[in-house]
Amino acid sequence: MSASWDLVNLLTLLNWNTLPGWLWLLLWGSSLAVVMYWQKRWLQRDQVGFPDVIMLARADTTVVECNEACQKILGDWRGRRWIDVLLAEEQEQAQQKIAHLTPQQPTFTRISRVADAAGQVRWFEWINQGIFDRRGRLQFIRGVGRDITEKKQLEENLRLREAQLRTLLDALPLAVWARDPQGVLILQNATDRAWFGDLLGTSLEEAAQQHPHWPEYTSQVLADLERQGFSQLEGKEVIQGQERYTYRLAVKLQDQSKGLGLLGIVLDITEQKRLQRELTDQQERFRA
């Protein structure tokens, strides 16, 4: 027989009613220690190689435990208050969120910048959970943080490029616009706003209410786009209260086989038309 089977037989032969109190206490303490040991082993096993940072802190944010990922990325924070490493405005926000933790609403999220073990500033998105005692008093805060530095850098690069593109578009002496697949205006540069008004977010039907000649123009554009994928039109229209000649170009925006909407430009060619007429008149006089 195995040793485990012998132990089971021994336990079944014991008269539990005659066991002394100290032995009960010893068995209870031993079982509690075993449970705590396996819980700790399970926690350590779950945290090994875990990509996110995990911290267990007291109610005052003093860190008492941190996983392997935390020690590798941020360093050993045990004994430190994590709130002290935040910027002033982030500290105030974190304190307010901690103060509003309750057993009914035990979690809150936050995004913060912290210096890693190498001194480099990183962005982390944290999910924090309060742990309360039976009286509802906050005892610990467990935080799980994900490194979103690359995401933040991509967002910052995207904002920078959008600002550069916006500056370039607004400096152009021609109108630039774009509509999504549902026909809603999603892009309008400064020249387009100056010529036709602020129409951002409007549909073709809504914009046509302010520009009565647009329905006919729109139907022609849609027919050209359906036939050849782009549209070119010249004609007269009112810009800032004056009748002007314009050249309009509209093209479909495509991403592989997915339609992204329309992109268009409008050029004021009034001066070109005037020069063409003058040149034609001069040629006719010369031939005469």
- Domain CATH code at residue 261: 3.30.450.20
Quote the CA–CA distance of 108 and 126 in Å, as a whole number: 8
H or E element at residue 232? strand 230-239
Q: Is residue 246 part of a domain?
A: yes
> Residue 120 belongs to what domain range?
47-161
Q: Is residue 181 part of a domain?
A: yes
**pLDDT tens across 259-276, in order?**
778 888 888 989 888 888
Give 135's contacts (C-beta < 8 A, 6+ positions apart).
none
Task: Say if residue 211 is in the same domain as residue 242.
Answer: yes
Task: Say if residue 146 is in the same domain as residue 224.
Answer: no
CB half-sphere exposure, 23, CA atoms < 13 A = 7
Task: Say if residue 150 is in the same domain as residue 178.
Answer: no
State yes or no: pLDDT of 48 exceeds 50: no
Q: Say which residue, 225 or 62, is predicted with more confidence.
A: 62
| Residue-level length of the chain | 288
Which band of pLDDT confidence, cut at 50, 70 and 90, is reported for residue 12? very low
Supply 43's token pair.
């926690």
Q: Is residue 14 part of a domain?
A: no
Which band of pLDDT confidence, cut at 50, 70 and 90, is reported for residue 58? very high
In this prediction the pTM is 0.54
pLDDT at site 129: 92
Please, is 116 exposed, middle or buried when counting C-beta atoms within 10 Å of its C-beta (0-12, 13-18, 19+)? middle
Which band of pLDDT confidence, cut at 50, 70 and 90, is reported for residue 252? confident
Quote the CA–CA distance of 264 and 29 in Å, as a whole number: 78
Residue with tokens 């309360």: 132
Q: Is residue 37 part of a domain?
A: no
Task: Say if residue 127 is in the same domain as residue 77.
Answer: yes
Mean pLDDT of the residues in the chain = 79
Quote the CA–CA distance of 28 and 11 in Å, as a whole number: 15
H or E element at residue 193? helix 190-196
State how many domains the chain has.
Answer: 2
Closest to 86 in 3D by CA, of 48, 57, 129: 57
Average pLDDT over residues 42-57: 62
